[in-house]
Amino acid sequence: MSFNEAIIRDKLSSNLSILEPGLVLETIEKYLPSAEGTRGFVDILARDRDGKYVLIELKRSDAAARQAIHEVLKYIDGVKNKFALKSEELRIFIVSTEWRELIVPFSYFINDSEYRLKGFKLEVDSFGTPISSSVVSPIKTRSDRLFTPWHEISRFSSMKSMRKGIESYKISCSAKGIKDYVLICLKAPLEQAEKDRRKKYNKMHALFGGMGEMRSYEEVSALSPLLNYITYFAMVQLDVDYCLRRLDRILVGEDKVEWKSNLKYLDESSLLGESHERLMGADPSIHRDDFEIAYPARFVDKVSSDGWVVEEILRFGALSENDLLVDETIISEVRGEQGNTGQRYKKALSAADLMYMDSVYSEIKSCLAHNPQWCDQIIKALEIIRQRKDVKDVDISIFNPSHILLSFYLALTTEENITCLPMYFIKVGLETGEEIVFGILEDCQKKPSMSKLMQERFDGSVLKFLMPLNWGGYDRDDAYVVRDIGLSYGTYSHSINETGQATYKKLTAFGFEECEDISFSKIILEYIERNKVFFDDVIGIYSTFWDGVMFQFNSDDEYIFLS
């Protein structure tokens, strides 16, 4: 027998304890006029034992269940406005007899919402009387598209070999349950393959040259064809639990025993990367003529620095179904500009986008997880920008290399200068002109000491100091190093009025306040000049033990600090 919602609502309202002990009915069919933000009737309004309001939205069927989230969103602001409630003073119950259609939107809502939200599966008898309820647990929802920072470079001597490699990727990924990924096909510019071959030979010679006689480069070249083609593999990040289940299924024998024994040594942050890399490396193997582990900075090197040409981008799984996903976006995300490496983030926003910033803030927090000072400043600056009525568009660009001493070394020894150093820009397009919000390093007038820093931050070990170079230079403790060497992160804004006069403002606890003109290059040059001996140590350590590709440090190596 079928009952409409009104019958179940009326009977439920007289027995609210079936949902939660202590609930007291305020009213049913509470009308919210349009003048207070919405128009319609809340099914049941109650209070819990702590006096908090509880908005109860009832749905009877799958068809109606699909509208439940829309109805709740429609009423929340109205209820808050009606009673002048704070978010924490309002609870929301979604009650339905059917959850098949409702569970997915409910799960997304509960995972993203700031409100205290619960779902209940209601059982009714043949008269429409509620007889029991059970709390509904949200399912795990998929987060926004995020490429992992763990990539693979496969090299090939010919187009035919590369096509064979692509087919082997399809077979291997299918067997391992990797569905959403891209293969970016690259071709070497003139003479680049030869340069890469020589670079690899020099690296091998540095590693093993002291262990015995090695073939000359000419002999190796005669045996090794030039590798003019690359497939660059990047996959969309998976859940750790999914990776672990797949590994448990596909690993066998000693591989499985070794993996399980290693799990107990992995903390939560390490487990994500290790499980992805182990899944990527599991059988079935990939056909390739040469291989190297990669990360976003390596892709930047190949395309931007070495000039490899993107010939084709092959998409698989859900990525192949997204006709809004252009090649430029894929390349940007593989480069790490979505914040997944913690080093780069780029985003272009329209005025309308500023109304929905939760995902942007989440991405910024992910990018700057180990730089809380800038993270807080950027989000605060964006909140201030959101309040303006004259904003047309916003472009965000964050460069957070997360290895401050390596950045200074590159700034002092290469043509990149201060562009190696951390900085960010938010270009705000206004109805008349534009404003730039920017983040820079600030000098705290503290004299740094390399010997003290090495002892306190790296346990006196030059090897520990150099280790981040193995994974692109990222150091989770970099914010502490910045502080220890007498620097801090600051945020400013710059605008020019109609008469051409420039105004600078500094972000403080009170918002943006006017300040004197600021010059990043002047700050850095004066800081370096004041700490020459310290930077002699920085240059000395890197130039002694690092060749720009890999570091070489033996247990008996020593470095005499000057500062």
- How far is residue 30's CA from residue 45's CA, in Å, rounded to a whole number? 7
The single-letter code of the amino acid at 153 is: I
- How far is residue 299's CA from residue 291's CA, in Å, rounded to a whole number? 14
**Mean pLDDT computed over 447-471:** 85
Q: Which two tokens stand for residue 207?
A: 């590693």
Give the three-class secondary structure for 489.
strand
- How far is residue 513's CA from residue 505's CA, in Å, rounded to a whole number? 5
- Between 69 and 85, the more confident residue is 85
- Between 51 and 557, the more confident residue is 51
pLDDT band at 239 (very low <50, low <70, confident <90, very high): confident
Q: How far is CA 323 from the centre of its chain?
A: 23
pLDDT band at 36 (very low <50, low <70, confident <90, very high): very low
> Is the pLDDT score of 65 beyond 70?
no
Residues in the chain: 563
**Mean pLDDT computed over 189-201:** 77
Pairing of β 511-515 and β 487-496: unpaired
**Mean pLDDT computed over 202-231:** 72
- Beta-carbon contacts of residue 56 (< 8 Å; ≥ 6 apart): 12, 16, 19, 42, 43, 44, 45, 46, 93, 95
Q: Where are the domains of the chain?
A: 5-136, 151-188+227-320, 337-545
C-alpha separations of 342 from 409, 481, 482 in Å? 20, 16, 16
Mean pLDDT for the chain? 84
Q: What is the pLDDT of residue 211?
A: 53
> Is the pLDDT score of 522 beyond 70?
yes
Would you say 364 and 338 are in contact if contact means Cβ atoms under 8 Å apart? no
> Is the pLDDT score of 165 beyond 60?
yes
Give me the phi and psi of 405, to 5 degrees please.
-75, -35
pLDDT band at 423 (very low <50, low <70, confident <90, very high): very high
CATH code given to domain 5-136? 3.40.1350.10
Q: What is the pLDDT of residue 449?
A: 92
Angle of helix 253-263 versus helix 268-281 axis, rounded to 10: 170
